[in-house]
Amino acid sequence: MTRLALVLCGVQIACSLSAQPRFPQPSSVIPNPVQAGEELAAKMRASAPSQEAEFTGKFVIVTEGGRVSEVPVASAIAVSPTNWQVVYQTFDRVGTPAESLRIVHRPDQPNTYFFSPDSAKVSPSHAPASELVRPFGGSDFWLMDLGLEFFHWSGQRLLRNEMRRTRPCHVLESSITNAAPGRYSRVLSWIDTESGGLIRAEAYDSSGKLLKEFNVGKFSKIDGRWHLKNMRITSEKTGQETELEFDPKKK
């Protein structure tokens, strides 16, 4: 997966072989962890998709008691000279549109979120910061997870470089002060040093308790491009697990 570029837009990840910002190569010595962390987070924020795309898939949600439910989901990426946007749409059992989320990404600017709990009746409206911890589609993905909001936090520090799943990775710590109870205060991200792809993340609260684990799954190659087949997020608080299965299609 040379120059594999992972673009995670909340639950949706697309992989391409297009050129992306060059990521720092691993070193056993990190002279300035804060500067290195800020530079790495900036590169992650700047990793825009190279072209538009559409995806379909489903959330497979397994509760702590073992009950399994599925939620169909579709996603589309739109790219413009000034920003790129990702739209996520869930559907009920009969195919009626349910929750909808649109995230607008702009270089060096905060993300903007637009959310509707019932898009069949109400158009998405601007979602304030207090709404970003809302689960999307009944899954373990919060709205802010889908926008990788933690890469926009003020605290960024490169902790170390290590192997993860046979891949060399940067371990980036993103932190925020005065986090409300039950919300993320610190996120550790394992970022592939060759591709710049996020392959794992762990989210902790202000007391240091692990809240969630995120892991990228398998890939498939379609028409010369790598596509993510599935990804999984686990909530330590609820014991619930959500797997997002993708069915990537060309636009």
Q: Hey, what are 48's tokens?
A: 């825009």
Of the pLDDT bands very low, low, confident and very high (cuts 50, 70, 90), residue 9 is very low
Of the pLDDT bands very low, low, confident and very high (cuts 50, 70, 90), residue 166 is confident
Q: How many CB atoms lie within 10 A of CB 200?
A: 18
Residues 218-243 pLDDT 10s = 665 555 555 667 889 999 988 999 99
Cβ atoms of 109 and 98 within 8 Å: the answer is no
Q: Which residues contact 110 (CB under 8 A, 6 or more apart)?
A: 152
Question: What's the confidence (pLDDT) of residue 250?
Answer: 47
Residue 155 has pLDDT above 80, yes or no: yes
Q: Residues of the chain with pLDDT > 70: what percent?
A: 83
Residue 106: is it exposed, middle or buried by C-beta count within 10 angstroms (0-12/13-18/19+)?
Answer: middle
* CATH code for residues 5-15+30-249: 2.50.20.10
Residue type at position 55: F
Q: Hey, what are 37's tokens?
A: 């962390």
Cβ atoms of 73 and 244 within 8 Å: the answer is yes
Residue 1 has pLDDT above 60, yes or no: no
Looking up tokens 């073992």 gives 66
Segment (H or E) for 9: strand 5-9
**Count of helix runs (H) and strand runs (E) in the chain:** 2, 17
Using alpha carbons, select from 193, 168, 195 the residue that is nearest to residue 16.
Answer: 195
Residues 183-198 pLDDT 10s = 999 999 999 888 788 8
Using alpha carbons, select from 241, 11, 50 the residue that is nearest to residue 147.
Answer: 11
* Terminal Cα-to-Cα distance of the chain (whole angstroms): 22
Question: What's the confidence (pLDDT) of residue 103?
Answer: 97
46 vs 92 pLDDT, higher one: 92
Mean pLDDT in the chain? 84
Of the pLDDT bands very low, low, confident and very high (cuts 50, 70, 90), residue 73 is very high
Q: Parallel, antiparallel, or unpaired: how do β-strands 84-91 and 68-79 relate?
A: antiparallel
Q: Residues of the chain with pLDDT > 90: what percent?
A: 61
Question: What's the confidence (pLDDT) of residue 218?
Answer: 66
Q: What is the mean pLDDT of residues 118-145?
A: 94
Q: Which residues contact 218 (CB under 8 A, 6 or more apart)?
A: 228, 229, 230
Q: Can you give the pTM of this predicted structure? A: 0.83
CA angle 218, 220, 224 (to 5 degrees): 145
Cβ atoms of 6 and 195 within 8 Å: the answer is yes
CA angle 157, 161, 167 (to 5 degrees): 130
43 vs 21 pLDDT, higher one: 43
